[in-house]
Chain A
């Protein structure tokens, strides 16, 4: 740091004077804590950061961040952030949204934001339930889920959020969880570094309306067997003693015993490989299914593509270069005038 007068910020500097009003035990607390912890490490000033949210439990997030923030309307944070980023590209823009906010009412804006590739970060808190409206099923709730609005079980086929986002040509998709602070922080930092839209799906426990929906992935007893943490350049290994691996049989992922195979057989994760990223997103088995594949966590895919705001600025600069900076009187006058 060259500026001696600028005090280094700490997590505390990002805490507001507002009382946090999530239910005790909510996964949101952990996510808030990790975001506040990561912020000082990003080399940003507080005033350069904006949190934009929609509606839902997670969308209260901006009130708790000592940065600029907007708690907007249901599903529209992505579109609001697009306008903000288009006009103020220098700001670090973070969207906080939930599975209902981003995948149901705001589904349209989400996919369009992804294809446009604004350089913003989306934190998608997925708890597979509607919390703020008190317990209806969401577009990520598994089939058969019994909720207030589905007493006989949900007949909706759920979204696979990362597959959807990859399908919308997202340039960065990752999955993490509220219960793994270190992993969460690592992913947040990478999301910030990525120039383009970063979509981070965060498995978040709603202990009131959908308690334990991700338990199998987050609790010590079952985590190792049911998750695979992917890292660029490293093989896909998991299991109690890291004794299992995944290899590709053609395009089909297969679980193998590490002892029984050579290291060359294992699937080596490559963040730039779109085809394999697509297969990774499909590692989405119901964990109750026998012989299910583990659920991947980490950065599935990352690609460099021009951001919307840069393309927009480039067009304006080109127009100025070829036509000259606009002169208001010339505009008002137009091409054909006459005197009276």
Chain B
């Protein structure tokens, strides 16, 4: 049967199903395949906090949104063009995400009376049958039945057979977008190396899904999304957490300092631990500590020993680490603290994204305790900024926060990865015994960066004691002297401020240097802001955007940039945190735009807000 072909610039697909349906796998496979094909792509896995919430219910719905195109893609998409649902709950939970006229691919078996009831549809109501979906193109496919038929005679039980349903969906979507099955087949071979019968079964179902598209009598459209004109180079797909892990290893290799990673499992940071623990042949030492406090303090012990101590967590865990971070700050030792932010406060929304730990990173410790804070703005930018965090920690002998969040940590995008030789050098200077006999080693003597030297145990003649008590300038001996305490407090601030001399100046991402409105962002809102501002500029609006990655100290020219605009809009996925800093630092009457829903901004929301503020 002839099928219609349509060319699309970009498409947003949302896969949704029960958390046991293998939705995340479908999403990540489609991402790899489509990225390999040459599309630009951005993804947004969205899953429940419960591992297996009751089957078929709304809390149990797991989703994976993916935006790909032949144009630059910077967000996982506002609304979706295609919604794939494995059951009634998945439809109910996600239908409002679907564009008018969008396509629904529904597993009709998931709309039986039991599933409809679990999804809390009123008795006798089936959205597939009652006309409520008439604004959309609905394709009902009995995926369960087709999968079972396909595996008939395979000797597999129903339960096992049904686990391959996701491969049918994937195969069908591959057909819709003309994608090769090869990557996934390779993946399945690797995944089920030890159970060849599962390779056969899954490949068979995958192909059946693809062939279904070819053979079905139902009129269906196939779409063509051409490769994106991205800068020339070699690409791979990467998630933010993977990029973070790679950056830590890369920094340790470039600096010639062993990486010690102390961590306690927490969503959404655990994947960094998983990734690092795979790379022991890089000399990486991973340590799953007994709690968050031991995770950070073991890293401090490692840094004292001359290794690069790194710890990671999310908000609640960072709260537990606060006292120890204060210690690292007093000890003036390198320490990288990754905070993969999630919805808070307290346990909050473990699997949802938020940017609400900025003030925690800046101020969440007792005493005057300034720390360096960096923030990544996309999955691949996690590599750049986590690497920078390591560089600054080592070169300036200080704790550095690296902020990421659930959206970019789990989201993926194509990454034009660097070559090792092109990475910025990290200079490590261990203290040496370069003073004469009779003189004492001064552990808190400072260099031109106001950083003390790294005197590691084992070095003859540099035996010294450091601790959390206030210390005398240079000697590091305990001191309760009032003048000294004020001096040291100011010194600890000055040495962090000094780092502004060693970071890049702020640039404007889109638009002119002066104008009506600047959209000033930080962190994972980058994609949505960039898309919105590019479109607005194309539509003739006098708007620009800048995205801050060095949150403390701020780039030295940021004040000037901000003051060049009549209005400054700061969109944040929190109740207004960065805006406090900007107002405080530059006395600018910035306007906040806040979304606190556990989901990222849509670029449309930002566009509308800008138009509301400056009009046509």
Contact = CB atoms under 8 A, between A and B. Distances in A.
Interface of A: 16-18, 45-48, 50, 52, 55, 62-63, 65-73, 76, 79-88, 90-91, 108-109, 112, 312, 315-316, 319-320, 322-326, 328-329, 331-334, 336-340
B35 interface: yes
A67 B303 CA distance: 17
21 contacts: A47-B458, A63-B477, A69-B465, A71-B468, A76-B294, A79-B289, A79-B294, A86-B298, A87-B305, A88-B458, A91-B305, A109-B290, A316-B285, A319-B281, A326-B282, A333-B417, A334-B238, A338-B35, A338-B235, A340-B230, A340-B235
Given A72-B297, A82-B287, A338 B302 contact: no
Interface in B243-265: 246, 249-250, 253-254, 258, 260, 262
Given A108-B294, A338-B37, 11 more contacts: A47-B462, A70-B465, A71-B467, A71-B469, A72-B327, A84-B304, A88-B458, A316-B280, A326-B249, A338-B38, A340-B230
B519 interface: no
A86 B458 contact: no
Interface in B296-341: 297-307, 309, 323-324, 327, 331
A66 B463 contact: yes
B346 interface: no
Nearest to A320: B281
Nearest to A109: B294
A337 B236 contact: yes
A325 B284 CA distance: 11
A72 B468 contact: yes
B587 interface: no
Contact of B465 (A71, A76, A88): A71
B145 interface: no
Given A46-B463, A338-B36, A88 B231 contact: no
Nearest to A52: B301
Interface residues on B, range: 35 or more
A324 B469 CA distance: 45
Contacts of B323: 73
Interface in B432-470: 440, 456-469
A331 to B, nearest CB: 6
Nearest to A112: B290
A80 B304 contact: yes
A70 B304 contact: yes
Contacts of B233: 339-340
Contact of A337 (B234, B289, B468): B234
Contacts of B417: 332-334
Contact of A70 (B235, B299, B331): B331
A81 B440 CA distance: 26
Contact of A71 (B232, B289, B309, B466): B466
Contacts of B75: none
B145 to A, nearest CB: 33
A338 to B, nearest CB: 5
A83 B227 CA distance: 48
A50 B236 CA distance: 45
B120 interface: no
B420 A329 contact: yes
B280 A47 contact: no
B36 A336 contact: yes
Contacts of B258: 87
B262 A73 contact: no
| Complex A-B, nearest 3 residue pairs according to Cβ-Cβ distance, in ascending order | A71-B467, A83-B301, A83-B298
Nearest to A308: B287
A332 B418 contact: yes
Majority SS at the chain B contact face? mixed
Interface of B: 32, 35-38, 183, 227, 230-238, 246, 249-250, 253-254, 258, 260, 262, 279-285, 287, 289-291, 293-294, 297-307, 309, 323-324, 327, 331, 417-420, 440, 456-469, 477-478
Contacts of B287: 82-83, 86
Contacts of A17: 440
A328 B469 contact: no
A5 to B, nearest CB: 12
Contacts of A81: 301
Given A68-B457, A325-B281, A332-B250, A16 B465 contact: yes
B296 to A, nearest CB: 8
Nearest to B230: A340
Contact of A67 (B231, B281, B463): B463
Contacts of A108: 290-291, 294
A339 B231 CA distance: 10
Contacts of B456: 88
User: Which of A87, A112, A339 has most B Cβ within 10 Å?
Assistant: A87
B334 to A, nearest CB: 13
A326 B457 contact: no
Contacts of B305: 83-84, 87-88, 91
Contacts of B289: 79, 112
B304 A328 contact: no
Given A73-B324, A82-B287, A88-B306, A332 B464 contact: no
Nearest to A339: B234
A319 B440 CA distance: 43
B298 A79 contact: yes
A81 B460 CA distance: 20
Contact of B457 (A88, A320, A325): A88
B549 to A, nearest CB: 20
A179 to B, nearest CB: 27
Given A86-B260, A315-B280, A329 B419 contact: yes
A73 B458 contact: no
A70 B293 contact: no
A336 B460 CA distance: 48
A106 B329 CA distance: 21
A250 B580 CA distance: 72
B54 to A, nearest CB: 34
B298 A82 contact: yes
Contacts of B230: 340
Contacts of A63: 465, 467, 477-478
Contacts of A71: 465-469
A249 to B, nearest CB: 39
A332 B246 contact: yes
A331 B463 CA distance: 38
Contacts of B307: 87-88
Contacts of A67: 463
A331 B281 CA distance: 11
A316 to B, nearest CB: 5
A69 B467 CA distance: 8
A323 to B, nearest CB: 4
B302 A84 contact: yes
A108 B289 CA distance: 11
Nearest to B235: A338
